[in-house]
Structures are given as structure tokens and as C-alpha cells.
Structure 1
Amino acid sequence: MTRTARELLEGVTGKLAPDPHANRLLPLIARGAAQLDTLAALALEQRHVVASDHRAFLHLAERSAAGTRTSPADPASAAFFEMLAEGEAQAGERLAAFAAAVGADEARAAEYEPLTDCQAYPAYVAWLALNGEPTDVVLALGADFAAWGGYCETITEALRHHYGFDDEACGFFDLFAAPAPELESKALAAVQAGLDAERISLDDALRHGRLLMAYEAKFWHALWEQDQRVA
């Protein structure tokens, strides 16, 4: 049963995998060359992303549990989005230590103006929370989570080795870099339920995923451009 769902999830993730050279900021962080002000901007942008995604995932969980006019209740997708929302809440708590390490305190956060290209991603996640078929959204998020997890793995290693950050300051990125077998299990269950109910639109899932990956790329490119201006 799970194998069919896994094949679909892995197939979508493979089709949407980003160009490994697309993220120009990542190599700078990896070798310790990114400016501290850029890392502060990363922390400040993530404050907005995490808060928005947390609410979006809660709404997706509620929609899934209640069903819509065109789809019955989908408890498997609801469980997946509930876990995502819990993860975002935990991420928000861990982000504070990273923000403190890069000098992004509350006073700076209050004055900070978010970058448009950085906030395109959470804006689209919020759109999906209102308009997307939940199972299609599960599939679309898979590719982006895979890329984001890889980015976080690189970043957390660099923060320790090049920037001298401790475990607490790296905790935000550690959270996303670590394997998440329970979340994967819930994603597979949601996809399988969607297959069984014939409510998955592969075209829609891929379209959502392409947009998510494009907005993810814009996020990092905006920070890279800022880093170049600071340098």
C-alpha cells in the first residue's frame, strides 16, 4: 500500500528538485563568507516565514479535518498538517537563539522591513492553505522540504565550524536538518488516502510545487543580493 504512495511522493520530489547551483547564498555560508548582517536578515525573514507557515498549516489541518464542499474529511492530511504546525511552533522557539547570535534583537526586528522576494514563499503557502486540495499540497511541499532540509544541514555545519555558534544558536537549523521519519510516514499516509479516494491531481501538485520551488529560490537570491551589497 505504502509503496505506491512512496513512488508518487518520490517521483514528484525528483521532478521538482532544484538546480544544485541555484542557491548562490548557500556556498557563501558553507565557507563562512556570508556577512553577519546577511545572517541577521535570514533570521528576521524567518520570523515572518515561520509565523505565517504555522497559521497556514493549522488552517490546512482544519480544512482537511472538516472537509470541503467538493471533498470529504481527510484525517490523514489533517494529521500531516498538524505535525507541520507543531514543527513550526518549535522552530519559532528555536529561532530566537539564532537571532540573538547574529544580533537580530527585538529592537532590530521592530525596525526591519521584510524583503518582498523573501516573503513570496509564505504568501503562496498561505494561498495554498485557502485554495489547494490538501493532498496535492502534501505532494507539493515534499520537494521543497527536501531542498530546505539539505540547505539547513549545510548551514548548521557552517555555523558551528566557521562562525563559532553553539548548539543552541544552531538549533533552528538542526531541527530541519534532522531526519523526520514520523512526518514522512504521515505524508505517505496522506498521499495513499488521496490515491484511494482518487482526489489527487498530479498536474496541480506539480504546479504548486514548481511555484514553491521558484519562491524558495527567490528567498535565497534576495539574501544573496543583500550580501553582495553589504560586501
Structure 2
Amino acid sequence: MTRTARELLETTTGKLAPDPHANRLVPLVARGAAGRDTLTALALEQRWVIAADRRSFQYLAERAADAPETAAYFATLAEGEALAGERLEAFAAACGVTEERAVGHDPLPGCQAYPAYVAWLALNGSPAEVVLALHANFSAWGGYCETIAAALRRHYGFSDEACAFFDFFAEPSPLLEHQATAAVREALDAGRLSERLVHRYGRLLQSYEAMFWHTLWEREQGQPSQVD
């Protein structure tokens, strides 16, 4: 039986779900055990990730010009990254990040592998398959953000404004769900969807996502006195 776009999104997300015990940093934040310097590092690394992903999604939207539903999905993602970037500044400020400190920060390779791969997908990936791979990855990312937002309020005394970046990603987006479904349906109707590529892209995205968190966790274990 031919699967619907919705079924394919759900099964792909399930198959690509990360090991719930693989992320060691988020549980530390959840119980207030992560150092504030680690939160600062998270803010500084995310500034690089958000800016890079926005440009990658813009380029994917351009590449998918012949598939309007797919292009619309990536355009919405790019707009979302721009909004997230604005919210990120309040979190960074709450962590004590000044513009001088941000400019002087040397990004951690393990944290930047994820946006580097998203950029590779923007240049080389098949847009329809990228939709499914990203959708699966966003499910895990949203859960991490929900946990962090709650912990920042409970254990670190951060304001709603400072938590807005994580709240933004934690809240499900009906628009993105609709657009992802429409994009997958468009690809299925055109007969140009390779599940093999979807799982290849998704597996690597999840691996680089895990690397991001593990890099920060390793940094936490050997905590220096300053981020820079």
C-alpha cells in the first residue's frame, strides 16, 4: 500500500529518533547542574548555527523553485531562523555575552559540524529528501529546547525574554507541519522521493546534532574559568 505524506513523515521521524540517553548535556541543564559558562558557550555557538542555517535554508528555497511547496517550506524555515536569531540575543545577554566577546569567540568544531552539514545539504542534497530529514531532526531539537527553557526559569532565574529563543523552537508550528506535509506530498506525486537518501541525510543530521551537545558536555567536564 502506498503511504501518505503524513505517514511517511511520522515513520521517518520515528526511525530517526535519537537514543534518549545520548544527549548528556540537556539532563545536566534540566537539573541545574550545568555551569553558567556552559550556557554562555551554548549561546555563542548558537549565534553561528542560526546565521548559517538561515542562509542554507534560503538557498534550498531557491534550489526548489520548481517545487513550490518545498520552496515554501524552506522559506518559512529561513524566516524562522531570522526570528530565532533576534530572540537568541536576549539569552546571550543574560549569559553575559557582549558584542566584543561574541566577535572574539572561536567556534568549537564539534558544535559547528551540524550547520556545516546543513550547508552541504543546501549545495548537494535533494531538497525533497532534506525536508524529511530536517523534519525528523527538529522533533528532537524541539524537545531539548522545551527542557532547557523550563530549566533556565527554574534553576537559573532567567526571564521569559531570555528564554524566548528556546520557547520559540519548543512550541510546535502548525504552519511548518502543514508545509512539510505538502512538500512531501508534492515529491511523492512527482515520483522523486528516495527514502534511502532521506535516511542517509537524517542519520548524519542526528549524528552531528549529537556531536553539538556532546562537545558542550565535554567542555563542561573540563570546565575552564572562561568561555574564550
Deviation at 1:176? 0.1
- Deviation by residue 1:34-87 (Cα, 9 ceiling, x = unmatched): 01000000000000000000000000001101xxxxxxx100000000000000
- After TM superposition, the score normalised by the length of structure 2 is 0.96
State how 1:1-231 maps to structure 2 within 5 Å. Answer: 4-65=4-65, 73-230=66-223
Q: SS of 1:104's equivalent?
A: coil
Q: SS of 1:230's equivalent?
A: coil
Distance 2:76 2:166 in 1: 17
Deviation at 1:108? 1.1
- After TM superposition, the score normalised by the length of structure 1 is 0.95
Question: Over the residues paired in the alignment, what is the CA RMSD in angstroms?
Answer: 0.9
Deviation at 1:144? 0.8
Distance 1:213 1:14 in 2: 12
Identity of aligned residues (%): 68
Distance 2:86 2:164 in 1: 9
Amino acid at match of 1:182: L
After the TM superposition, which parts of structure 1 deviate over 6 Å for at least 4 consecutive aligned residues?
none
Deviation at 1:19? 0.4
Gaps of 5+ in 1: 66-72
Match in the other structure for 1:69: none
Distance 1:58 1:64 in 2: 10
Distance 2:177 2:128 in 1: 14
Amino acid at match of 2:41: A
Deviation at 1:10? 0.8
Amino acid at match of 1:75: P
Deviation at 1:17? 0.2
What is the aligned length?
222
- Deviation by residue 1:133-158 (Cα, 9 ceiling, x = unmatched): 11100000011100000000000000
Q: SS of 1:162's equivalent?
A: helix
Distance 1:11 1:25 in 2: 27
